[in-house]
Amino acid sequence: MTSSRESAVMLFGSNLVAMVTPMEADGSVSSEGVASLVEHLLATGCDGIVVGGTTGEISTLTADEVVDLVAAVAQQVRGRAKVIAGVGTYDTAGSIQRAGQVESAGADALLVVCPYYSRPTQAGVVAHCLAIADATDLPVMLYDVPARTGISLEMNTLTELAQHPRIRAVKDAKGDLFEAATVMADTSLAYYCGSDELNLPYLAIGASGVVSVVGNIVADRTADLIRAVASGDLESARSIDGSVRDLTETLMRTSQGAIMAKAALAELGIIPHATVRMPLLESQEQDLAKLGKALATHR
């Protein structure tokens, strides 16, 4: 199973960033902002870019915008990092169509979330994920985030889905460390922490990497954390984790990750605006003041 997880890192990377979608003041996607952000992520050690995920405001992007984003990022990256495209919706047929589109646009892998709102049975979840995995030749990372979808990937479901040759990994934002450790012991699925607050404990129990929101700002720190845990240097890992705790708390627990990450990137001059699409609203003054203090130690 270790070799299977190592090969999964070759497919997805280990230091993944859930990339925000830079926008102009009018809410249109900013090509300039995308290019600047991608170069920033690569320069700070990101080896996998998730495009069109939760932090990328996938719920307010059109299908064409997602495909165009994937194409732009893939063209700019040119093999320097893996491009993982979010294609999961509550509509299996629509997800299959989008999977084919992003494959043609240059994606290296797919991110597939549980069907939200419709909340099918676990058998329905299995059928949905298998149908998407069968639709392309790309490796699949499952996305388990019940706080957003209203439904989780249960342990038996994960074990069943792990039998598919292209379903290789799980982005786990559920936070059940015992379940994650059990699934890793019983299957060849590679785990990626999807909650920045828990990056260290997930890596410590064997996760292959992270899919980080905070990495939009400090991917170099998450890279250091991954290396420290991999080398068995937990004292350094705890120190690294502590060095970004204030920033993590500010980005992830003040309002919402996409909102705060965009505010931080705009403050640092990496993207032109902190614009988000409704129903999200830009950061309030008190949140920006808190963010400024957290960023002060990372400039």
Q: Residues 82, 171, 191, 202: which is the catalytic one?
A: 171
Q: Residues 90, 117, 143, 174: which is the catalytic one?
A: 143
- Distance separating alpha carbons of residues 139 and 166, to the nearest angstrom: 5
User: What is the SS3 assignment for 76?
Assistant: helix
192 noted as active-site residue: no
In DSSP notation, 86-127 reads E---S-HHHHHHHHHHHHHHT-SEEEEE--TTT---HHHHHH
Strand partners, 144: 172
Q: Are β-strands 82-86 and 48-51 bridged in parallel, bridged antiparallel, or unpaired?
A: parallel
Q: How many CA atoms lie within 13 A of 285 on its CB side?
A: 0
200 burial level (CB within 10 Å; 0-12, 13-18, 19+) = buried
171 noted as active-site residue: yes
- Distance separating alpha carbons of residues 285 and 80, to the nearest angstrom: 37
Which residues does the annotation mark as catalytic? 143, 171
